[in-house]
Amino acid sequence: MKRQQIIIFGTGEIAELADFYFTHDSEFEVAGFTVDGAYLKQTEFRGRPVVAFERLLEQFPPDRYGIFVAVSYAKINAVRAEKVAAARAKGYALATYLSSRATAFAGFVPQENCFILEDNTIQPFARIGANVTLWSGNHIGHHAIIEDDVFLASHVVVSGGVRIGQGSFVGVNVTIRDHVTIGKKCVLGAGALVLEDQPDFSVVAPRGTERSPVPSTRLRNL
């Protein structure tokens, strides 16, 4: 059976990874890539054509091709959300990647343009919006709600009943206590421990561990 054809928006590292994951672990086949005309520096990427987004309809029409927007969390996820809206406006269906190595249960319905990598655990009754990236290894507790356009880095603990507001960024190793609500467009920095609700646009970021004044050469037992 012929696989569904998609075009990936982007030619950066995330696009390279998206191509890898879709090719090796999905029902989709990546036919080519697209970027905004102003950023078009190459006609080929990973052995397939790159076309200007402005000319995509001519070469890869939406009745035959879907699209996946492989863009990072730039401008706190606004760039990716803009590109998703632009693709939708041109009439494209947006593909989603759900790793075969992620754990999800009956009743979980992935929305469009999600990128859900290996070792994510999505417990029953959790809901995940559109255009959400779950990098590898997160725990999404039961009854949690992740709104549209959110990006979770790796090894985040989203406890049961947590809500993460639209467009928020959650860094590596963040822990969010059960039933806490994170507002829209928040940034939770790497390693944050979040025990209470946060208003829209909050930044919660712990300082990194301080370097010892003692050099490693002076440690006696190592």
Q: Which is nearer to ligand COA, 2 or 207 (CB)?
A: 207
Q: Is 153 in the site for ligand COA (CB under 6 A)?
A: yes
Name 61's Cβ contacts closer than 8 Å, sequence gap at least 6: none
Q: Is 17 in the site for ligand COA (CB under 6 A)?
A: no
**CA–CA–CA angle 201, 206, 207 (5° rounding):** 125
From the CB of 152, what's the least distance to ligand COA, in Å?
Answer: 9
Query: What is the rounded CA–CA span in Å between residue 105 and residue 142?
Result: 11
DSSP string for 155-216? S-EE-TT-EE-TT-EE-TT-EE-TT-EE-TT-EE-TT-EE-S-B-TT-EE-PPPPPPPSS-G
Q: Is 205 in the site for ligand COA (CB under 6 A)?
A: yes
Q: Is 86 in the site for ligand COA (CB under 6 A)?
A: no
Q: Is 79 in the site for ligand COA (CB under 6 A)?
A: no
Query: What is the rounded CA–CA span in Å between residue 171 and residue 93?
Result: 29
DSSP code for 113: T
Question: Applying CB under 6 A, which of residues 52, 57, 157, 190 lies at the interface with ligand COA?
Answer: 190
In terms of phi and psi (left: phi > 0; alpha: psi -120 to 50; beta: otherwise), the region of 179 is: left
Question: Applying CB under 6 A, which of residues 143, 172, 183, 201 lies at the interface with ligand COA?
Answer: 172
Q: Which is nearer to ligand COA, 16 or 57 (CB)?
A: 16
Q: Is 171 in the site for ligand COA (CB under 6 A)?
A: yes
Q: Is 135 in the site for ligand COA (CB under 6 A)?
A: yes
Q: Is 157 in the site for ligand COA (CB under 6 A)?
A: no
Residues 182 and 90 sit within 8 Å (Cβ to Cβ):
no
Query: What is the rounded CA–CA span in Å between residue 71 and residue 80?
Result: 5
Question: Applying CB under 6 A, which of residues 187, 194, 198, 202 lies at the interface with ligand COA?
Answer: 187
Q: Which is nearer to ligand COA, 35 or 156 (CB)?
A: 156
Q: Is 209 in the site for ligand COA (CB under 6 A)?
A: no
Interacting residues with ligand COA (CB under 6 A): 135, 153, 171-172, 187, 189-190, 205-207
